[in-house]
Chain A
Amino acid sequence: MSTNEWPLWEVFIRSKQGLNHKHVGSLRAPDAEMALQNARDVYTRRSEGISIWVVQSALITASDPADSEAYFEPSDSKVYRHPTFYDLPDGIEHM
């Protein structure tokens, strides 16, 4: 029976117009259409959303948390990308 188990889907919901879709959880469904319907029933019983995306979990490629230190180091080490790195002369309040 296990070979016949429904695939796993990740569910993303846009809570209102103007905001991104955000991951809310996962569920099992035989196909995309039923995944959408199940997502509506499971994740939006209280007006949580106006739009749903579902994507098969197996199709997601993720970075490896074990490597995250090295992987994200380039952004941590470049403090000059942040405005607070720069000195402004007195008299300039907003820039």
Chain B
Amino acid sequence: METQTQDKLAEKFQAKIDADIKIEPNDWMPDTYRKTLIRQISQHAHSEIVGMLPEGNWITRAPSLRRKAVLLAKVQDEAGHGLYLYSATETLGVSREDTIDDLHSGKVKYSSIFNYPTLTWADIGAIGWLVDGAAIMNQVALCRTSYGPYARAMVKICKEESFHQRQGYEIMTTLMNGTEAQREMAQDAMNRFWWPALMMFGPSDAESKHTEQSMRWRIKRHTNDELRQSFVDASVPQAELIGLKIPDPNLVWNEARGHYDFGAIDWEEFWQVVGGNGPCNKERIEARVKAKEEGEWVREAAMAYAKKHKS
């Protein structure tokens, strides 16, 4: 009897998904759908928050007031995006505190790209152009995801992120129009961020354990490899236009496919970084834990003040 009702509910649920009707917080959903979303949205939220760290590293050293104001606005946006996504996660019935603790304990990951250091100012350009570019590619597709609160957060985020990529590309363009040393700096950033940016789309479709089910539930609307290909196709002409070389000897336009062919990704590096052995994993989590612990008295004081003034 019980399983019969469950089966019926599951059937109705899938029918809604197939008809492109959004799922809202209080609607019935399979446990695994809920769990998948909690994992994916919280991972996404953590990425926005941890993503502030490598860029924040350059705010005080931005080369001009204009660049500094832009970078501050961008980093503030990332904080906002993290907050939209934590709220969306909470609609699935998990507490924000627990969600954040799962990041700090390492139980839930964030995008592995943020485990790479920002060594030069050009890295800020490369991150805006390539990393935000890759994120946007992914997020535009997620605007049509089946869970309402996630889709709505994505629409807002995509609208705001469009300047992020442009400001990065502008930094790269300016450097490429500069001195020999500046061009070298830009190319060096490109060389270090290109492959990690490609890895941002996640394992290849054959290796991705979540893709098939997520596609059926329309949580994902495109596979990792499809999005990665779109990103390569979009980025190569942008690099060429300003004279940056793609650090891939196997990159070639494939007339028959209508896409660029590109070299093999070093998945060993990807799994190492995901597994905690990237250049900055430890530093990133330490910074987040420190922020939480050192801010605790402020949160407590604000709460005590609110209680005291409640008439």
Using a CB–CB cutoff of 8 Å, the interface residues on chain A facing chain B are: 1-2, 4-6, 8, 25-28, 30-31, 34, 41-42, 45-46, 62, 64-66
In the assembled complex, the Cα of A80 lies from the Cα of B55 at a distance in Å of 60
- A65 pairs with B299, CB closer than 8 A: no
Contact B160 A46 (CB under 8 A): yes
Q: Determine whether the beta carbon of B160 is less than 8 Å from that of A2.
A: no
Q: What separation, in Å, do the CA atoms of A30 and B298 have in the docked complex?
A: 11
Let me know if A25 and B84 touch, CB within 8 A.
yes
- Inter-chain contact B26/A30, CB cutoff 8 Å: no
B7 within 8 A of A: no
Contact, CB under 8 Å: A2 / B303:
no
CB < 8 Å neighbour of B305 from A1, A31, A41: A31
Pairwise interchain contact A31-B26, C-beta atoms closer than 8 A: no
Interface residues on chain B, number (Cβ under 8 Å): 29
**A42 and B80 contact, Cβ closer than 8 Å, known pairs A25-B153, A26-B87:** yes
Q: Give residues of chain B (141-173) contacting chain A, Cβ–Cβ below 8 Å.
A: 152-153, 156, 160
Q: Are A4 and B300 in contact (CB under 8 A)?
A: yes
* B134 CB, nearest partner CB in chain A, Å: 23
Once the chains bind, are A30 and B27 in contact (CB under 8 Å)?
no
Q: Which residues of A contact B26 (CB under 8 A)?
A: 62, 64-66
Interface bits B69-97 vs A (CB < 8 Å: 1, else 0): 00001001100100110010010000111
Q: How far is the CB of A75 from chain B (nearest CB, A)?
A: 19
B309 at the interface (CB under 8 A from A): yes
Does A45 contact B27, Cβ atoms closer than 8 Å? no
The distance in angstroms between the C-alpha atoms of A5 and B95, with both chains bound, is: 9
